[in-house]
Every structure is written in C-alpha cells, then in structure tokens.
Structure 1
Amino acid sequence: MKRGKKYQDALKSFDKSKQYDPAEAVAIVKKNATAKFDETIEVHIRTGCDGRHADQQIRGAVVLPHGTGKTVRVLVFAKGAKADEAKAAGADYVGAEELIPKIQNDGWLDFDVVVATPDMMSVVGRLGRVLGPKGLMPNPKAGTVTMDVTKAINDIKAGKIEYRLDKANIIHVPVGKASFSEADLADNFQSLMDAIVKARPSTLKGTYLKNITLTSTMGPGVRVNAASFGL
C-alpha cells in the first residue's frame, strides 16, 4: 500500500524498531497527527491469550479520566421507572420491544453504546445477530447490563470505553484525540493499561502483552515498552 508524503515524513521522525516509554510514544504520535481533522489516538495490544478458551477471554471497561473526545450516543433498553430514569440521566434513546423491528428490519444503528436492564436481555437477545458483530451487545462485564442505568449512562458519557479481544487476540481501544494535551493522553493511556494489566487471566502461561502500539488515525504506529507497565 502506497503511503503519502506526510506519512513517510512521520516515519522518519522516530525509530520504528525501538520500544518507547509511554510519554515519549504519546509525544511522537501526537506530533505526527497532522491530518485536517482531529485524529483519534488509538492503542493496539497484541496479547498472548487464546480467546477460544473462556478462561482466557479479556473483556471489561474503564472510564478514561479525560474522556474520549467523542460525543457518545447511548441507547437504553428499559421499561417503566427505569426508562424514566434513563431519560432523566441523559440517554439519547430509550425503548423496549418496539425498537426491535426498527433495528432488525430498518437497519437503524444511530447509537454507539447499548445499555439494558437485566429484565430486558431476553428482548435484546433477539438482536444478537445485528448487535453482536458490531460489538454493541450489552454485557455485565462491561457494566452495560445493569439496574443502575444512571451510573452506566454517566460513566459512558464521561468517557467509559470497553476493551476486549478480537479474533486475533488483539485489543483495539481509543484513548483520546490528537487535540488532547500530551499529559491528558498519557493519563488516559495509563488508566487503560492499569485495567488491562489487572485483567490478565490467571490461567495464562507465558507473555501476556506481546506488543503495544500507539497510533493516530492517519499516522504510523509507535511501539511502546510493555515493561513500563510492570510487565
């Protein structure tokens, strides 16, 4: 794949073979995020886990101290008092069974996170084939299946992100925007890594974090030293 001049220039600004401390990596990635839009800063973590085994699955959520820089649209599946609570807490959309055909048949997906009260999971489960592949299914581990819809909505709006293994056992997570200060990006990155280090499966033998790369939407990836996080 042919890369543009900006990308090639960015590659020359650091050593691709070197593993940098988090603060250095953040500074390099931020400096090289020169697109005309506010690029997202992302972390890609290659793990030594085997997600085919249930005891090596990694899934959780963490609230980034400085948010994600993105306005998140929240859909809540709830009824009665819990639906009223969700509306009062600032949910963008609230509903129940009536949303099934809208999502299933009309392809409506104008939301970024789905929260559900436990009693609504039988309804949400019918949307598994639509929401599952897009990573939108509510999950207790991520705090999106809960009776405390106010806390769930507040956390999500404040910058809560979900992390989990993909099919290649890699975790892909945004930690902010290029417009953030280096200090705020570093704080967000550290908070994410603290959560992922704690999530290490007890059954895992060998290396947990094989490779950590920090990158911007349009820029090259910078390798981060896993030892910085006590590993």
Structure 2
Amino acid sequence: MSCPESLPEHVLTLLKTSKYLHLATCSKPECIPSVSLMNYTYISPDRVYTPKSSPASSSVATSNKKCHYIIMATQKNTEKYENIIQNPQVSVLIHDWVTAKKLSLRKSSMSNTPTPAESTQDSSEQPPSADHPSRLLNLLQELNQSELSQMSATLRGYAEHLDSFSDEFNYYEQELLKANPDARVYTRGENVSVVKVKLVNAKVSDNENNTKFYD
C-alpha cells in the first residue's frame, strides 16, 4: 500500500479545515455499498504516531512518516465497522461548503426582506420590471455559481481498526478530540473503534469536468 508522494495544497487545506467527510465502505463478498457522514481529523506525515523504539517499529515508523492519514471513531455495532473489517478498502469524499454555507445564511436573512420593487408596489400592481430583479434571485444565482466553483476531492485508502488497549489508539483518539471536541460521544464506552485510514491516492474534480489524479 504505497502512499501518494504529495497532495496538492488545496486538498491539504480541505483536509485541515473541513469538519465532516463522507465515508464510503462496501461489504464483502456481497458488495453492498454504504455511505456515512463522519467527524474526522487529518494526520499529516509529521504527526503520525511513532511507536516505542525497536528495530521493527523503527522501520514501520519511517514508512508511516511518508503517509497521510484520516482518523475517525465509530461504534462496533455499525454497518460501516462491519464493512471495514470485511473489506478495508474505503473512499472518502470531502468538499468545501464554507462559501455555500455563508451564502445560504445570507439567503435566509434576505428571504424575509422585501425587495426594492416590493417595498414600492402593492400586490395588485404589475410584477417588477427586468430592471429591478429580485435580490433573492440574485442571491440564489450567486449561491449556485459559488457551490459549483468549489473543488471536491475523492480520496481512496485502506482502513485499519486500532486495538482499544494500544498506545496508538489513545494517541489518535486524543488527536480526534482536539480537532472535534463534540466527537467525544463517539469515543465513549467499550464498544468503540478508532479507525485509521491510510490515504493511497486522490482524485480532484471541478465544475468544468477537469479531473486530476494524485498517486
């Protein structure tokens, strides 16, 4: 399982700033797909867990220092956990919704605000002319254009369930909670699994149907 030599800066920015991603898993041998919205944290090569020193662990640590990881937590009695145990190949979809969210909030605040035409006309009068378009219409157009202009990244990787009694489990659990304090609800109890996904490649697409691959 080789790691990508590098990931583009815009993908790294997405990984570092987004709070959620969509995790795709697939059962085996039935090949039934499942998608889940997940809290996560991104682990760059310089933050990868380093086991206690030994010849074997030193070799593993050196190899891992070249890789990018995603850390998530889930209950063991879930479909995605069973899928990961049966089939560790997973995909994640990550998208920057920040701009769209800001525009959506603006849309919400403006939807109850009369347009200039509405404030000067009775409902019995003719609709506003083309010279006075609705601000809400403009806002919706802006929202659509902004959303389409955002970049989405699909990353493929291999998922690994971590032993809950291991130092590695504790390390990554703390890293996950640092990034997402509200994820604590998913790390409570004895039925919890921390999942580490080693990223192996990325596919980046834009609204012009341009796609780039990074291995």
- TM-score interval, smaller chain: under 0.3
| TM-score, normalised with respect to structure 2 | 0.25
Compare the two structures and name the one with the higher strand fraction: 2
| TM-score, normalised with respect to structure 1 | 0.24
